[in-house]
Each structure stands twice: as structure tokens, then as C-alpha cells.
Amino acid sequence: MPQFICFLEPTRPDLPENLSTEESAAIEAHFKYYQKLLDMGSLHIAGRTHEPPYIGILIYEAPTKEDAISIAAQDPAITKGILKARVQVFETALQAT
């Protein structure tokens, strides 16, 4: 199945240091959303930088790019406007076993 890389960026520059209660709840739901994808076997890796500029990276499988974009669009942090996403086709060249 094709792989995709999703770059996540905060919609305001003081995130994640300054989260409101609503934003914290959306980030928690965001984590749980991707945990489900991991449990289903379609998410390969997820993480974020811990210094500015803050960028999250996800590598996952989806049947098509449209499906991959839809996966990102359903992320609770994206639907709440806390994060924005960019999805691109990705191909693993090297991988540790």
C-alpha cells in the first residue's frame, strides 16, 4: 500500500507552549486518533520536534493520496484549527529492522 508523509504545523506561533484547555483536549484527542491508526497497522511513525519551528511528522499508509489527505483532515487538532497539515507521497528508502 502507498505510504504518505504528513507534516503538521501549529496554526499559531506560541503553540505548543501556551495551550488553552480546549486546545489541550483537542491535542489529547489528536494523540488518541493516531494511536488508533497505529493499532490498525497503518501508522508507521509519529513524532514532533521539541524546539521551534514545531513540526509534527507522521508516516502512514493509505490506498490513495485523497484517502491520506482525508486521514489528516479528520485529525481532531486539525478540525479544531489548532494544527494544519500537508500530505505528500512518501517512499521508504532505508529502514532499521
Query: For 34-75, what is each residue's pLDDT tens digit?
Result: 999 999 999 999 999 999 999 999 999 999 999 999 999 999
Mean pLDDT for the chain? 96
| Residue 50 DSSP one-character state | S
Lowest mean pLDDT among 16-20, 22-26, 83-87: 16-20
pLDDT of 13 strictly over 90:
no
What are the sequence ranges of the domains in the chain?
3-58+67-90
Q: CB of 92 within 8 A of CB of 2?
A: no
Distance between CA atoms of residues 62 and 91, nearest Å: 13
Q: Which fold has domain 3-58+67-90?
A: Alpha-Beta Plaits (3.30.70)
- State the pLDDT at residue 19: 92
pLDDT band at 77 (very low <50, low <70, confident <90, very high): very high
